[in-house]
């Protein structure tokens, strides 16, 4: 368990980031594919994303097609909410993050070079995501692989961790980034 009543908040912090790091690095782990919620006009919209990395600054990364609707909306409101849930350990992690968009810049170029060839077609279709097609055969790749590649860097500024403990009482903590570091507190679940 990430949280136990006897753990101090620093220990919960360490456990949470260690669990996220292991999860993001492990195919099939539920932390690799959280729900990402952003805003479309005046309402939230969620989708599952595949996280690619968690760096030493506790920023995590995912990739998308630069023509996708989520990129357009993130350009207007560059924040998102991630919800991770692992049913085996009965823990939910919610992270609010500021989103930096990298497309057609040096960061995107370096990340693109590291993508295996067999995965590059995911970012080079003839049509933007969401465009209506007559059928699946219409979706081909136009040879501009990499041109539509977009990397999203997510910098957390708030995190809540909920440990479900049926029959024992659930536990929850909140961390918020300030100008001097991270504040931490126990909160009611």
Per-residue pLDDT of the chain (189 residues; tens, 9 = 90+): 899 999 999 999 999 999 999 999 999 999 999 999 999 888 999 999 999 999 999 999 999 999 999 999 999 999 999 999 999 999 999 999 999 999 989 999 999 999 888 888 777 778 888 889 888 878 776 656 677 899 999 999 999 999 999 999 999 999 999 999 999 999 999
CA gap 110, 46 in Å, rounded: 28
pTM for the full predicted model: 0.91
Element (H, E) at 70: helix 69-76
Beta bridge partners of 85: 92
Q: Given the structure tokens 């990397």, which residue do they identify? A: 151
How many other CB atoms sit within 10 Å of the CB of residue 57? Answer: 9
CATH placement of domain 9-126+143-187:
2.30.110.10
Using DSSP's 3-state secondary structure scheme, residue 14 falls into helix
For tokens 């595949």, what's the residue? 50
């Amino acid at each position: 368990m990430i949280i136990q009543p006897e753990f101090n908040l620093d220990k919960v912090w360490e456990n949470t980031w260690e669990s996220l790091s292991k999860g993001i690095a492990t195919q099939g782990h539920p932390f690799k594919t959280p729900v990402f919620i952003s805003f479309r006009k005046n309402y939230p919209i969620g989708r599952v994303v595949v996280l690619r990395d968690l760096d030493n600054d506790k920023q995590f990364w995912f990739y998308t097609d630069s023509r996708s609707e989520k990129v357009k909306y993130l350009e207007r409101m560059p924040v998102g909410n991630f919800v991770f849930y692992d049913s085996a350990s009965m823990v939910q992690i919610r992270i609010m993050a500021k989103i930096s968009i990298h497309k057609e810049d040096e960061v995107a170029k370096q990340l693109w070079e590291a993508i295996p060839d067999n995965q590059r077609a995911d970012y080079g279709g003839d049509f933007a995501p969401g465009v209506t097609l007559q059928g699946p055969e219409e979706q081909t790749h136009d040879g501009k692989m990499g041109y539509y590649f977009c990397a999203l860097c997510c910098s957390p500024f708030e995190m809540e961790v909920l440990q479900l403990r049926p029959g024992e009482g659930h536990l929850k903590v909140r961390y918020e980034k300030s100008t001097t570091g991270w504040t931490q507190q126990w909160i009611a679940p």
